[in-house]
Amino acid sequence: MRLPVLAAAVYAAALSTSVQAQDMTVSEYPETRRGEVVETLFGEEIADPYRWLEDDVRNNPEVADWVERQNAVTDAYLAKLPARDWFKERIGELYDYERFSTPVKRGNRYFYQHNSGLQNQNPLYVREGLDGEPRLLIDPNAWADDGATALSDWKASPDGSKVLYSVQDGGSDWRILRVLDVATGQPVGEEIRWAKFTDLAWVGEEGFLYSRFPEPEEGQDFQALNYDQAVYFHRLGTPQSEDQLVYATPEQREQNHTASVTSDGRWAIVTSSIGTDARYEVRAIDLAARGTNGRAARELVTGFENAWSLIDGVDGTLWFATNKDAPRYRVVSIDLDAAGSDWREVVAETEQPIDGASIVGDRLILSYLKDASSLARTFDLQGRELAPVELGGIGSVGGFTGKPGDPETFYSFSSFNRPATIYRLNVATGETSVFAEPKLVFDPETIAVEQRFYASKDGTRVPVFIVRRKDVSAPAPTLLYGYGGFDISLTPSFSAARIAWVEAGGVFALANIRGGGEYGKAWHDGGRLANKQNVFDDFVAAAEFLKAEGVASEVAVQGGSNGGLLVGAVANQRPDLFAAGNAAVGVMDMLRFDRWTAGRYWVDDYGYPSKEEDFRVLRAYSPLHNIKPDTEYPAVLVTTADTDDRVVPGHSFKYTAALQAANLGPKPQLIRIETRAGHGSGKPTDKAIEEAADVLSFLAYWTGLKAPE
């Protein structure tokens, strides 16, 4: 919700004293106006002097001016950092390698994305047959001069004759949907607008299902639209105004609905949710039954109690992964053509949670997490285990796209020291071969990847990955990363920026703290709602462990979104422990987060600020409300984007203003505000390199990491 500027506010300088260390000086932070906003919440007076910074930078010249002045000070500071030029050059070199997505076969065509190295966005290619010549189909690099318009998602039609794709502009969550004829490269029909948080689902070759919100009325702030999502069917060649409403719940406006279609085209599956927690209702629409009454939705799961994820369908049978009666997930099936059908267990729960599932050929391919690293196992459709897919040690697997009857599938495998290699798997024989392997400008064998375990404050055993050069054994400046929320698992992944940090002699560590999904539902529940403090305790314990074990000399912490909240919270709770921090696109005002854009969905993890029990928990750790004035803090670089419509930049703006006003010692408290960028997805390569160089040179300076000579 966009708030007006407060006319009664008065001006006050945030901080006018010099903030310096050695030759790095911030002579004065930009002046930030303070408002006289005080609310009484559950008997406590809550001051909110920077509420005017919640306003949209595009609508409020005063906020835009504040952003410009903050960036001027930050840019001047970052330009003086001694390692910045080295990081920018080296990260650019490390980024310059070929990247491929896993191919998807439709008809005799193979579709995949391929970036030659430093292209800002990933183009889509097609081959006629696996050995055919690659043909450029969609090049998003031609869509915008600044490279900030991205190809977000795409899906080829069942016979491969068309591609439905979504366009993301400036990092926004909103999408524009378009269809392309594969043979001619020409558009098919008109574009579809007001799509957001949508799947793409072809219904034969005639049209597709998608999810959208109502078109805003004149003068309405479209960024505030997050209610009344519905599933529609769009028939090719017709205007969007004639799209058929397939499923909606106007009496329950907070529900979200997405649709998928089984590979055989028989069933449309509508999945409904009410927040970010994996609790769904599921309905099936028989696309073969078309009568004058339309397509009736058959209830499969009601009650918003458990997670249900469609794997695929064959004729009347559907397979799902679910955590019902299985906190680490199991596979079940149901035959909708059988009278009195009910759920049947196909693959039972194991100690390792299921992380992905598909049906290819006559096989179920399941990926699991073992201590946050991937395993892949295969089963027949009755649940009998077959041969595993051999992977390359500690790493992450993805892909296994395909459909029942296909003789092959493709998957990727990557780790901290290895970008994704794409493999082709012969489903019948289990034989694998390399489809695409990048050429690198560094030697992965010089970098060690290990996993250790440490005890958190309450004794919980927590894993941490440690990445460093093999010749680095003494304590070194360490970059510790975490997330800890929303059932999201952090698994080994390649990052050019992290490799640059390691090449410079630093250590990268990733802590798999509670709140994620690395060990199933219990791990998630152990770090949300009233248990949220466990997340911060786990992260603090990771830093203490790395120091005690002689891995870290100084520790810098980094996290984005919910991880930005993590960085802000631990900086408040243990400012003595960390040398520096990067809080990226963070949720910093825990008392008002549910008022903006997607914030209302997050109550599953955070709770309701309007409920006293939840308010007490939120108030205790909210980064904005727990800054300790006149205390020496780590150096903090806040990063955000002026048009982020997932976690609105007002969170970071208010938090930075409060940091700068609090007299936190000699280390700087700065904010870097990107333009024409959102929450992270779709960010062009050149902007990603610039941001990474700025952040890492800042963290390197304050942890004592020197750039190589």
Domain boundaries, the chain: 19-92+442-703, 358-440
Q: What secondary structure letter does DSSP report for 49? A: T
Task: Give me the half-sphere count of Cα atoms (radius 13 Å) on the Cβ side of residue 397.
Answer: 31
Q: What is the DSSP string of 123-176?
A: -EEEEESTTSPPEEEE-GGGS-TTS-EEEEEEEE-TTSSEEEEEEEETT-SEEE
pLDDT over threshold 50, residue 4: no
Long-range CB contact pairs, 114-119, < 8 A, 24+: 115/685, 118/92, 118/685, 118/686, 119/685
pLDDT over threshold 50, residue 384: yes
pLDDT value at position 9? 26
Q: What are phi and psi of 606, to 5 degrees?
A: -100, -25
Residue 14 binned pLDDT confidence (cut-offs 50, 70, 90): very low
Rounded to an integer, what distance in angstroms lies between the CA atom of residue 422 and that of residue 420?
A: 6
Average pLDDT over residues 207-224: 82
| Contact yes or no for 61/46 (Cβ under 8 A) | no
Q: Which residues pair with 368 in a beta bridge?
A: 354, 375
Helix (H, G, I), strand (E, B) or coil at 702: helix
Rounded to an integer, what distance in angstroms lies between the CA atom of residue 423 and that of residue 438?
A: 12
Q: What is the DSSP string of 448-462?
A: EEEEEEEE-TTS-EE
pLDDT in tens, 328-368: 999 999 999 998 889 999 999 999 999 999 999 999 999 99
Give the sign of the dihedral formed by CA 582, CA 586, CA 589, CA 591: negative
pLDDT value at position 293? 41
> Between the CA of residue 100 and those of 111, 112, 355, 417, 431, what are the distances in Å?
11, 7, 21, 17, 21
β 330-335/344-347 pair status:
antiparallel
pLDDT over threshold 50, residue 2: no
pLDDT over threshold 50, residue 311: yes
pLDDT over threshold 60, residue 11: no
pLDDT over threshold 90, residue 25: no
679 is catalytic: yes
pLDDT in tens, 535-594: 999 999 999 999 999 999 999 999 999 999 999 999 999 999 999 999 999 999 999 999
Average pLDDT over residues 4-33: 50
pTM of the model: 0.94
Rounded to an integer, what distance in angstroms lies between the CA atom of residue 233 and that of residue 246?
A: 6
Rounded to an integer, what distance in angstroms lies between the CA atom of residue 597 and that of residue 610?
A: 17
**CA 680: distance to chain centroid?**
8
Return all residues near 404 (Cβ < 8 A) that are at least 6 apart. Answer: 263, 264, 312, 314, 359, 360, 361, 362
Which of 273, 396, 679, 697 is labelled catalytic? Answer: 679
Token readout for 282 is 């599921």
Average pLDDT over residues 79-107: 97
pLDDT over threshold 70, residue 15: no
Average pLDDT over residues 397-412: 94
pLDDT value at position 679? 79
373 is catalytic: no
Residue 222 binned pLDDT confidence (cut-offs 50, 70, 90): low
pLDDT over threshold 80, residue 12: no
β 44-47/135-138 pair status:
unpaired
pLDDT value at position 680? 79
Average pLDDT over residues 224-239: 91
pLDDT value at position 606? 98
The torsion angle over the Cα atoms of residues 140, 143, 147 and 153, rounded to 10 degrees, is -40
Token readout for 255 is 């529900």
What's the chain's average pLDDT? 93
pLDDT value at position 226? 84
Which of 157, 166, 273, 561 is labelled catalytic? Answer: 561
CATH level 3 topology of 19-92+442-703: Rossmann fold (3.40.50)
Average pLDDT over residues 480-506: 97
pLDDT over threshold 70, residue 228: yes
CA neighbor of 140 nearest in space, from 161, 113, 162: 113
pLDDT in tens, 150-163: 999 999 999 999 99
